[in-house]
């Protein structure tokens, strides 16, 4: 959205005709260290070009006053106030000053000893610019990222960087300066930082764009996350926090209507960074509605007085800005679910053996099920990606946002079979509630790729370092990544980039497939992933806990504009099926234990529908149904049997000299049936096939020659024909139990 700028001051109106002077104060990032052509690519130079393009030449003069290695701290090892660039900035007498300092203060020579000086030293720097120009507009920047590859990342840099960011926010508030976030736009782009500290030309361009937005208030006009579009489902019976962006000093009005009649109106105002949010009222299940957003620029004096505690600094006046409107038609209120994971969640209805039945069900749903498909734009098949795919993958554009569609046979055919059948059962069980499902599964993706970068940096930073050549990822996944990005690894290629991104990279899919959803208030998560992490169940146990933590924080509720975590966000997990891979029994049992231990986490067992010859088994209909049974019971409170027999206790008995037996008690045990699948071990740790006797909700197990039973396991092979079920036909999970547990 093009805007025209008229600089203003809270104290007096600027009348001089000379170009407005913008001083970019900082360290090596501002200077342009590491850029082959810093005279062209350094962010202040790119900022000058943007301002000239938007407002014409001779309206602005941007000065680069960056000094490599400088510290904000006056007692630091290289204080900025002792540099010739500082003296040059003072002589420049800027009208606007953009300060980006603090990175070098993370050095152990600086922060440990002099951190108490940081806020007063920063305030003194700001005051010095206000001395030479009392009307100077001050913008204080949150620091650009320092990535895990930095040699001091874990020895202090990570922690001190975070502390300095907090101190910078304190400075901005106390000094009534505008706070500019240079961290968030670049934290998801480690590929733009060759040395983990200094951005390359593309990174410098993002810096310039971010500062340009802060200076001018031009954030591209009214925008919502892409999933907020016609045909969508929003949650029923709760507060709904809608978040978006627009140009600074803009009022946002939302009108919810049905059949031409206004149901509700809400208003909001953009923050200085262009963000805005508003609450929609509680709505009963139903639709369709129309939700129309209108953005209208407002006078600067109204804007600054509306939230004086948040906007004590001067803001530019926007002129020639036009009102904008975004409309969401065919909006329904109901329940919204997110289906994620890897290829078995991704597998489409038209690839499964119940295609005709599924399409017939889609035809009868009469628009009650709403689907949003987000497939990958390039598959992770055994191919080398062309340069175009490498480029859009680096830009976090790997997902295809295909928009909302009702569950017609045509739409369902290319949608996740598991997710569709989950939604089908919910629609049949909750006939008055519209159901929406977003599917963003990616074939072969790793657990770590779905966890946010900050969580990994603090909880498991080593997994971020050269994942492709390390030993955290499964060899197959690392090999496939290497094959896909081969062009980027070729030094003779125009696409050469040793930091090339890939969907299997730690944090990548969180950044490319979760962040674009915004803080969408989903009802719950359907999760089918693990094949690419089954080599290391112990590591996966840690990763999956981090994943739940990461998503529950991201998909947070907001009540009365107060941020709250969403600890009750349920996860419904699909256990790995049967496949002749040695590590899978251990992994399946690990999944069982995780779901028992973690809050609001339940599991659907699939060992009975696996295919010994194909990891992508085609019988997905019962998987979606079993997930739905768990959700109907645990989330919706319906009284029903939602899972197979679950072991709750094990005891050993020695009533005979030749052999003993073990008793295992189960829940969900009405009508137990079993013919095979159990093994029992004595104190020697050798497992032998067990004889099984059913006794109500118990199984009695024994094996000739075992006098002192020590452990029992069930379904303990990669591909298993174990057949313990209850009267509902639901199978039991693979498990390993020690006597006395």
Instruction: Quote the pLDDT of residue 16.
Output: 47
Q: How far is CA 41 from CA 22, 48, 144, 325, 703, in A?
A: 17, 11, 17, 36, 75
What does the DSSP assignment read for 77-144? SSBGGGSHHHHHHHHH--SEEEEE--GGGGSTTTHHHHGGGHHHHHHHHHHHHHHH-TT-EEEEEEPP
CA-atom Rg of the chain in angstroms: 30
Closest CA to 661 of 685, 678, 680, 684: 680
Q: Say how far apart CA 182 and CA 189 lie, in whole Å.
A: 12
What's residue 652's pLDDT? 87
Predicted pLDDT of residue 314: 57
508: number of Cβ within 10 Å: 27
- Please give the structure tokens belonging to residue 533: 């992490």
pTM above 0.75, yes or no: yes
Q: At what angle do helices 417-429 and 355-364 cross, to 10 degrees?
A: 40
Under 8 Å between Cβ of 361 and 407: no
Matching residue, tokens 């008690």:
665
Q: Quick one: which of 159, 183, 34 has its CA closest to 108?
A: 159
668-to-607, 644, 725 alpha-carbon distances in Å: 18, 6, 9
Taking only the tens place, the pLDDT of each residue in 640-649 is 999 999 999 9
**SS (HEC) of 13-76:** CCCCCCCEEEEEEECHHHHCCCCCCHHHHCHHHHHHHHHHHHHCCCCEEEEEEECCCCECCCCC
Beta carbons of 513 and 452 less than 8 angstroms apart? no
- pLDDT, residue 623, reads 98
Structural domains for the chain? 4-216 (3.40.50.1110), 233-331 (2.60.40), 334-379+400-464+506-634 (3.40.50.1110), 646-738 (2.60.40)
DSSP character string of 524-563: EEEEE--GGGTT-HHHHHHHHHHHHHHHHHHT-EEETTEE
Give the DSSP H/E element, type plus range, for residue 693.
strand 691-695
- Vertex 495 angle, CA 492 and 497, to 5°: 90
Q: What does the pLDDT read at residue 207?
A: 98
- Torsion sign (Cα): 672, 673, 679, 680: positive
Question: In angstroms, rounded to a whole number, what is the distance separating the alpha carbons of residues 104 and 78?
Answer: 9
Q: Which residues of the chain have pLDDT under 50?
A: 1-16, 303, 305-310, 318-319, 559-565
Backbone phi and psi for residue 88, each to the nearest 5 degrees, phi listed first: -65, -40
Q: Which of 344, 373, 338, 335 is nearest to 525 (CA)?
A: 338
What angle is formed at CA 534 by the lines to CA 531 and CA 540, rounded to 5 degrees? 110
Bridging pattern class, strands 20-26 and 60-66: parallel
- Rounded Cα distance between 552 and 317, Å, is 39
3-state helix, strand, coil in the chain (%, to 5): 35, 25, 40
pLDDT number for residue 323: 87
Helix residue ranges, H only, 635-734:
none
Closest CA relative to residue 216, chosen from 159, 273, 279, 131: 273
Strands (E), 259-397: 261-269, 275-280, 286-297, 317-319, 324-341, 369-373
Mention every residue, 6+ apart, whose C-beta is less than 8 A from residue 227: 372, 401, 438, 516, 517, 518, 520
Give how far Cα 321 sits from Cα of 13, 17, 218, 326, 718, Å. 21, 23, 10, 16, 63
């Amino acid at each position: 959205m093009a805007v025209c700028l008229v600089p203003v001051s809270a104290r007096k109106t600027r009348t001089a005709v000379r170009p407005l002077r913008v001083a970019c104060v900082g360290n090596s990032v501002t200077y342009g260290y590491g850029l082959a052509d810093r005279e062209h690519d350094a962010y202040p130079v790119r900022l000058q070009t943007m301002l000239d393009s938007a407002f014409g030449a001779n309206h602005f003069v941007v000065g680069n006053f960056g000094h490599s290695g400088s510290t904000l701290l006056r007692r630091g090892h290289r204080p900025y106030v002792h540099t010739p660039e500082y003296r040059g900035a003072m002589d420049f007498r800027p009208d606007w000053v953009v300060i980006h300092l603090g990175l070098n203060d993370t050095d152990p020579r600086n922060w440990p000893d002099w951190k108490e000086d940081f806020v007063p030293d920063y305030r003194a720097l700001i005051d010095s610019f206000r001395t030479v120009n009392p009307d100077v507009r001050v913008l204080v920047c949150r620091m650009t990222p320092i990535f895990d590859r930095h040699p001091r990342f874990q020895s202090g840099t990570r922690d001190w960087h975070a502390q300095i960011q907090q101190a910078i926010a304190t400075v901005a508030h106390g000094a009534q300066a505008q706070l500019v976030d240079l961290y968030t736009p670049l934290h998801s782009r480690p590929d733009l930082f060759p040395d983990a500290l200094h951005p390359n030309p593309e990174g410098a361009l993002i810096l310039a764009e971010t500062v340009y937005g802060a200076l001018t208030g031009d954030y591209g006009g009214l925008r919502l996350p892409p999933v907020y579009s016609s045909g969508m489902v929003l949650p029923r019976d709760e507060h709904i926090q809608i978040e978006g962006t627009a140009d600074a000093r803009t009022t946002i009005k939302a009108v919810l209507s049905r059949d031409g009649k206004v149901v509700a109106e809400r208003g909001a105002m953009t923050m200085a960074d262009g963000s805005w949010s508003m609450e929609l009222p509680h709505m009963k299940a139903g639709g369709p509605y129309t939700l129309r957003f209108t953005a209208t620029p407002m006078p600067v004096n109204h804007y600054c007085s509306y939230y004086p505690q948040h906007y004590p600094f001067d803001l530019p006046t926007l002129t020639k800005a036009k009102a904008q409107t975004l409309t969401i038609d065919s909006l329904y209120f109901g329940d919204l679910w997110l289906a994620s994971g890897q290829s078995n969640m991704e597998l489409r209805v038209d690839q499964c053996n119940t295609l005709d039945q599924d399409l017939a069900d889609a035809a009868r749903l009469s628009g009650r099920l709403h689907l949003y498909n987000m497939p990958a734009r390039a598959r992770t098949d055994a191919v080398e990606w062309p340069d175009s795919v490498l480029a859009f993958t680096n830009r976090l554009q790997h997902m295809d946002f295909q928009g909302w569609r009702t569950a017609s046979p045509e739409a369902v055919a290319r949608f996740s079979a598991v997710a569709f059948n989950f939604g089908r059962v919910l629609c049949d069980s909750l006939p008055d509630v519209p159901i929406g499902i977003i599917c963003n599964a990616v074939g072969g993706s790793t657990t770590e790729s779905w966890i946010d970068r900050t969580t990994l940096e603090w909880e498991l930073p080593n997994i971020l370092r050269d994942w492709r050549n390390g030993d955290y990822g499964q060899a197959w996944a690392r090999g496939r990544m290497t094959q896909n990005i081969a062009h980027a690894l070729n030094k003779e290629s125009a696409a050469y980039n040793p930091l090339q991104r890939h969907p299997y990279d730690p944090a990548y899919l969180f950044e490319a497939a979760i962040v674009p959803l915004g803080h969408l208030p989903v009802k719950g998560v359907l999760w089918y992933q693990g094949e690419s992490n089954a080599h290391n169940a112990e590591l996966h146990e840690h990763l999956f806990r981090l994943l739940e933590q990461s998503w529950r924080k991201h998909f947070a509720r907001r009540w009365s504009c107060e941020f709250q975590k969403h600890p009750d966000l349920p996860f419904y997990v699909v256990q790995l099926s049967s496949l002749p891979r040695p590590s899978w029994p251990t992994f399946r049992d690990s999944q069982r234990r995780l779901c028992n231990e973690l809050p609001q986490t339940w599991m659907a067992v699939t060992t009975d529908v696996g295919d010994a010859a194909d990891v992508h088994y085609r019988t997905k209909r019962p998987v979606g149904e079993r997930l739905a049974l768990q959700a109907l019971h645990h989330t919706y409170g319906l009284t029903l049997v939602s899972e197979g027999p679950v072991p709750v206790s094990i005891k050993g008995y020695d009533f005979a000299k030749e052999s003993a037996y073990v008793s295992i008690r189960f829940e969900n045990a009405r009508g137990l049936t079993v013919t095979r699948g159990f093994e029992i071990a004595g104190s020697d740790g050798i497992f032998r096939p067990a004889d099984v006797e059913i006794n109500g909700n118990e199984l009695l197990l024994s094996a000739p020659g075992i006098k002192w039973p020590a452990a029992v396991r069930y379904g303990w092979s990669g591909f298993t024909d174990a057949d313990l079920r209850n009267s509902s036909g639901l199978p039991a999970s693979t498990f390993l139990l020690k006597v006395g547990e």
